[in-house]
Amino acid sequence: MSTAEDLFITVMDGERPVGRGDLSLALAGAELIDLIGADAVTVRDGRLVPGGPTPLDDGGLTGEAAAALTRQAPYEWIEDWLWRRGNGLSDAYQAAMEASGELRPRRSGRSPFGGSRLEPADTPASRRARDRWSERDPVLIALATVVGVEDEPDDRDEDAPGLDDEAVTTVVAAVHDAVMELEAVRQRRTIENAAFANLWRGP
């Protein structure tokens, strides 16, 4: 399982609603983090510099992510990658994981995706993802926190897991900024729609 798949399962296991746009941005960030760990890409001054061909454990969507890297200078900004790669990515992961049997029909209860009919199946891969969460893996915790699965840690919390890789920290920060930007767009549209509705209602 990739970090993106672990994140998807973590979100589906959670109780809080998560927007598909937010999750898509975080999944793109999770893919980047795995590519960094595989030496398939490095972060240089905020840009993504591809490395040599590197075999990846995940030959599916993470492999697609590696193939999608811009390989010509001046290379791509992290933020631009997140928006480009993240477009519809949560739907792509849901379809892939449903096809592989990692997702099953939901038995009961509410889904963090609203009316989604699916939930994680009890598989070795999903159990590893849950173990990673229960062990407070710093990368998984950071990405899940960005999309609101749990609250931001208190700065005074000495037990809060921290990231010890500068490139990974940069990616997580970029995901956070992108999610905040998306939320700002949502709020602006809500205000504009309300103003338009009031205009038609009249004084």
DSSP letters for the chain: --HHHHHHHHHHHSSS---HHHHHHHHHHHHHHHHHHTTSEEEETTEEEE-S----S--SHHHHHHHTS--STT-EEHHHHHHHHHTTHHHHHHHHHHHTTSEEE--SS-BTTBS--EEE---HHHHHHHHHHHTT-HHHHHHHHHTTSSPPPPTT-TTS-----HHHHHHHHHHHHHHHHHHHHHHHHHHHHHHHHHHHH--
Overall average pLDDT of the 85-110 stretch: 87
Query: How confident is residue 60, by pLDDT bands cut at 50, 70 and 90?
Result: confident
The reported pLDDT for the residue numbered 185 is 81
**Bridge-partner residues for 49, per DSSP?**
42
Q: What average pLDDT does the chain have?
A: 84
Q: Could you tell me the residue ranges of all domains in the chain?
A: 3-201
Find residue 42's DSSP bridge partners.
49
First CA to last CA distance, the chain: 57
Rg of the chain over all Cα atoms, to the nearest angstrom: 18
Bridge partners (DSSP) listed for residue 105: 118
Question: Do 142 and 8 contact (CB within 8 A), yes or no?
Answer: no
pLDDT at 1: 72
201 or 173, higher pLDDT: 173
Residue 169 binned pLDDT confidence (cut-offs 50, 70, 90): very high
**Sorting pLDDT into bands at 50, 70 and 90, what band is 195?**
low
Question: What b/e string do you get for 25-59 counting C-beta neighbours within 10 Å, with b at 16 or more?
Answer: bbbbbbbbbbbbbbebbebeeebbbbeeeeebebe
Q: Which of the pair, 113 or 166, is modelled with greater confidence?
A: 166
Q: Which of 122, 160, 123 is nearest to 142 (CA)?
A: 160
Q: Is the model's pLDDT at 152 over the cut of 80? A: no
Query: Tell me, what's the pLDDT at 165?
Result: 87
CA dist 168 and 195 (Å) reads: 41
Range 118-127 average pLDDT: 90
Q: Which residue has the higher pLDDT, 157 or 27?
A: 27
Q: What percent of the chain has pLDDT over 90?
A: 55
pLDDT (0 to 100) of residue 184: 85
Return the pLDDT at 158.
44
